Amino acid sequence: MADIIQLLPDSVANQIAAGEVIQRPASVVKELVENAIDAGASQIKINIKDAGRTLIQIIDNGCGMSDTDARMAFERHATSKIRSADDIFAIRTMGFRGEALASIAAIAEVELRTKEHDQDLGTFIHISGSSIITQEPVRCDNGTNFQIKNLFFNVPARRKFLKSNPAELKHIINEIQRIALANPEIAISLHHNGSAIYELSGSNKRVRIVSLFGKNINQNLIPIDTETSLAKLTGFIGQPKHARKTFGEQFFFVNKRFMKHPFFHKAIMQAYEKILPPDAIPSYFIYFDLNPADIDVNIHPTKTEIKFENESAIWQILQASVREALGKFNIVPSIDFDQAGSVDIPMPLHDFSDVSMPEIKVNPNYNPFDQPAFSKGNSGSPGSFSSKPLERSNTGNWQSLYKGLGPDLSVRQETPVDEPVQFRIEEQQTIKSSVQFKNKYILTPVKSGLMVIDQKRAHERILYERLMQVLENHEVASQQQLFPETFELNASDATLLTSILPDLRALGFDIRDFGKNSFIINGTPGVLNTTSPIEIIESLLEEYKNSPVNLQEKARETVAISLAQASAIPYGHTLKPGEINELIDNLFACQTPNFSPKGKKILSIMPLEDFEKLLK
């Protein structure tokens, strides 16, 4: 038989390899901006069209390239940054694999204008799908100007895989945020379709953080500054009272490179233990500087995961620094410290390698939207739309809903999610004997034992079903604000809010975009009866950002879910007896009282036998 193995042409090999480095427009932006930083630029301008689909332009005032280098730069494994494998252990530059430009040139059209500072003329190169179309001398500014057009024009599968423009733009903004925080001394501007998102002048870390996240963050920043023989740590942590419910302002940098590090995140969370509101995550901007030989940045193609030689020791230094900073600001009672004032390098006492971030367990088969559609007039659907969130609806109806249902099918048995658990609350009086426990649960005696209800999830379910009814019946009822409030968001949140504004309007929000990332709230959904609309919008955005991506495709429902979560009574909130009863009534008037809109269990029954066993 004839031989059948052939070497792939470079253009095909590059296209395949490109998949690893370039997943979306934001990856191109990241690689090109990092190259500009490596070229010593003090100013970088980024222009984007259509979230990067049509154009990504990066202009820098760095060292530029010679004619030959400009051509060479597009070859795979072509780099000016390392010469031998040993150099990898002394890396101070962002790039070193020599892969980015070859990958980008394989899947887009590239126009490059570049000039070294001591030359009169620069060079222009036009490449499409890995082939050089032209190279000629050109008059241009010092530095480098890349234009990437028609990204993925020859990889339709990738093009299809791209998300909506706001979603892709958000990825770009996130990359720019990270790079801008890592390099506060570099002036960076970002324009999208001609309008400015960022115009950051070169400054220090604090000013940079404030210009990215808004002036309110300024008084919230507590400085960190620790130097040990292993590493230097600088930056800021946020005050506990400003901690938000979800991720967004948590950043680690190592030698000016953004990194993700769940294990170090845990060190910070532990330092804040007991001083944070429940479920909140503090802001932090922490910069590690250490000998490049003590880290390995080569374990991940996009280089966001970094391995540390002395991971456990650095973990302890980090935690001690955070505790010390909190202590200095009198945030933690000093009695909590045994070593306040100084940070030694503690030797690792335990092996922390098995500590990992808690995983969020989600039932992959559960789809909250698979429930039968709510129909009007169904006695099980929440009836009233009064402005009080816990107003009694279907008063007295709840018992009949459960009449005749088997009493002992307790929730503890593995119950298929789409079959609501059936149970019966014994007597109306027993409901009256419901109590709140730890300001988090409601305990209610039922025939087969003791029912435990999660108060927040229960309220989320109630609000969610009410909001869905508003959407389905187009019964928008907006409660006008007496004093319309204005608020400003950071660029990425502003983009997100703009993209979900139509859905928020359908739910009863009256919000206008004022331009420059500011908004005004004139009205809120009648269903919510909220007094702090801005807070709700902020937590709504957080919840929305953290919804699984496949859920975000059902944007309306996701907005309703996020809004329900953002407005539900928080844990820690004491309920009056009347409110407890209303909550229970309203919960059992819902279509799906057993599960929260995101599919978490709302209630469970501890069977009588278990009590008996306990006391044996």
- Residues engaged in binding ligand ADP (CB under 6 A): 31, 35-36, 38-39, 60, 62-65, 73, 78-81, 95-101, 144
Distance between CA 150 and CA 433 in Å, rounded?
66
Q: Strand 187-192 to strand 43-49: parallel, antiparallel, or no bridges (unpaired)?
A: parallel
- Minimum distance from residue 47 beta carbon to ligand ADP (Å): 15
Q: Nearer to Mg ion by C-beta: 95 or 129?
A: 95
Smallest separation (angstroms) from ligand ADP to the CB of 57: 12
Binding partner of residue 175 among ligand ADP, Mg ion, none, CB under 5 to 8 Å per kind?
Answer: none
Interaction partner, residue 60 (Mg ion, ligand ADP, none; CB < 5-8 Å by kind): ligand ADP
Put residue 148 in one of left, alpha, beta given phi > 0 → left and psi -120 to 50 → alpha. beta
Tokens found for residue 477 = 């009822």
- Check: CB of residue 185 under 8 Å from CB of residue 215: no
Q: Give DSSP secondary structure letters for 69-116.
A: HHHHTTSTT--SS-SSGGGGGG--SS--SS-HHHHHHHSSEEEEEEE-
| Minimum CB–partner distance for residue 149 and ligand ADP (Å) | 17
Residue 562 · residue 544 · CB < 8 Å: yes
Least distance CB 102 / ligand ADP (angstroms): 6
For the window 492-531, what string marks contact with Mg ion as x by the rule CB under 5 A? ----------------------------------------
Closer residue to Mg ion in complex, CB, 14/35: 35
Measured from the CB of residue 147, what is the shortest distance to ligand ADP in angstroms?
12
Q: Which residue is nearest to Mg ion (CB)?
A: 95
Which among ligand ADP, Mg ion, none contacts residue 14 (Cβ within 5 to 8 A by kind)?
none
Per-residue exposure over 166-180, b if at least 16 CB sit within 10 Å of its own CB, e if not: ebbbbbbbebbbbbb
Q: Residue number with the shortest CB distance to ligand ADP? A: 95
CB 106 to ligand ADP: min, Å: 12
Please identify, among the stretches 96-104, 193-201, 234-242, 510-518, the one whose residues bind Mg ion according to the rule CB under 5 A: 96-104
Nearer to ligand ADP, 114 or 177 (CB): 114
User: Rounded to whole angstroms, how far apart are CA atoms 511 and 378?
Assistant: 32
Cβ proximity to ligand ADP: between 166 and 301 the closer is 301
The label of the residue with tokens 């908004």 reads 519
Please tell me the distance from the alpha carbon of residue 574 to that of residue 564, in angstroms, as a whole number: 19
Binding of Mg ion at residue 35 (CB under 5 A)?
Answer: yes
423 and 410 in contact (C-beta within 8 Å)? yes
Residue 39 binds which entry of Mg ion, ligand ADP, none, CB below 5-8 Å type-dependent: ligand ADP
Rank residues 37 and 580 by Cβ distance to Mg ion and give the closer one. 37
Contacts 24+ apart (CB under 8 A), 432-440: 432/577, 432/581, 434/580, 434/581, 434/584, 435/580, 436/574, 436/575, 436/580, 439/571, 439/572, 439/573, 439/574, 439/575, 440/571, 440/572
Give 18 or 286: the residue with its C-beta nearer to ligand ADP. Answer: 18
Strand order in the sheet with 518-525: 478-488, 518-525, 510-515
* Residue 251: strand pairing partners: 285
What's the min distance (Å) between Cβ of 251 and Mg ion?
A: 21
Q: Please, which residue, 101 or 172, has the CB nearer to ligand ADP? A: 101
Question: Between 35 and 552, whose beta carbon lies closer to Mg ion?
Answer: 35
Amino acid at 254: V
Minimum CB separation of residue 275 from Mg ion in Å reads 42
* Residue ranges with strand state E in 419-461: 435-437, 441-446, 449-454
Task: Rule CB under 5 A: say whether 95 interacts with Mg ion.
Answer: yes
Other Cβ atoms closer than 10 A to 416: 9
* Of 100 and 602, CB closest to Mg ion: 100
Least distance in Å: CB of 77 to ligand ADP? 9
Residue choice 33, 100, 254, 317 for contact with Mg ion (CB under 5 A): 100
By beta-carbon proximity to ligand ADP, the closer residue of 38 and 294 is 38
Q: How far apart are CA 52 and CA 601, in angstroms?
A: 41
Nearer to ligand ADP, 20 or 472 (CB): 20
Residue 177 beta carbon to ligand ADP: minimum distance, rounded to whole angstroms: 20
| Residue 63 interacting partner from Mg ion, ligand ADP, none (CB closer than 5 to 8 Å by kind) | ligand ADP
- Residue 56's binding partner among Mg ion, ligand ADP, none (Cβ under 5 to 8 angstroms by kind) is none
Tell the smallest beta-carbon distance from residue 34 to ligand ADP (Å). 7
**Closer residue to Mg ion in complex, CB, 35/592:** 35
Q: Which lies closer to ligand ADP via its Cβ, residue 80 or residue 310?
A: 80
Amino acid occupying residue 567: S
| # residues near Mg ion by CB under 5 A | 3
104 conformational bin, left if phi > 0, alpha if psi -120 to 50, beta if neither = alpha
Chosen from ligand ADP, Mg ion, none, partner binding at 65 (C-beta under 5 to 8 Å by type): ligand ADP
Residues 6+ apart with CB under 8 A from 286: 224, 233, 234, 235, 236, 237, 251, 252, 253, 264, 268, 318
| Binding-site partner at residue 96 among Mg ion, ligand ADP, none, CB < 5 to 8 Å by type | ligand ADP
Residues 107, 152 contacting (CB under 8 angstroms): yes
Shortest Å, Cβ 122 to ligand ADP: 11
Are 205 and 87 a contacting pair, CB within 8 Å?
A: no
- Cα distance between residue 56 and residue 169, in whole Å: 11
Select the span of 92-100, 179-187, 478-486, 530-538 touching Mg ion (CB under 5 A). Answer: 92-100
**Cα 444 from Cα 442, distance rounded (Å):** 6
Using CB distances below 5 to 8 A depending on partner kind, what does residue 80 bind out of ligand ADP, Mg ion, none?
ligand ADP
Distances (CA, A) of 205 to 34, 256, 287, 293, 430: 18, 12, 10, 25, 58
Calpha distance 412→451 (Å, rounded)? 11
Q: Does 27 bind Mg ion (CB under 5 A)?
A: no
Query: What are the residues binding Mg ion (CB under 5 A)?
Result: 35, 95, 100
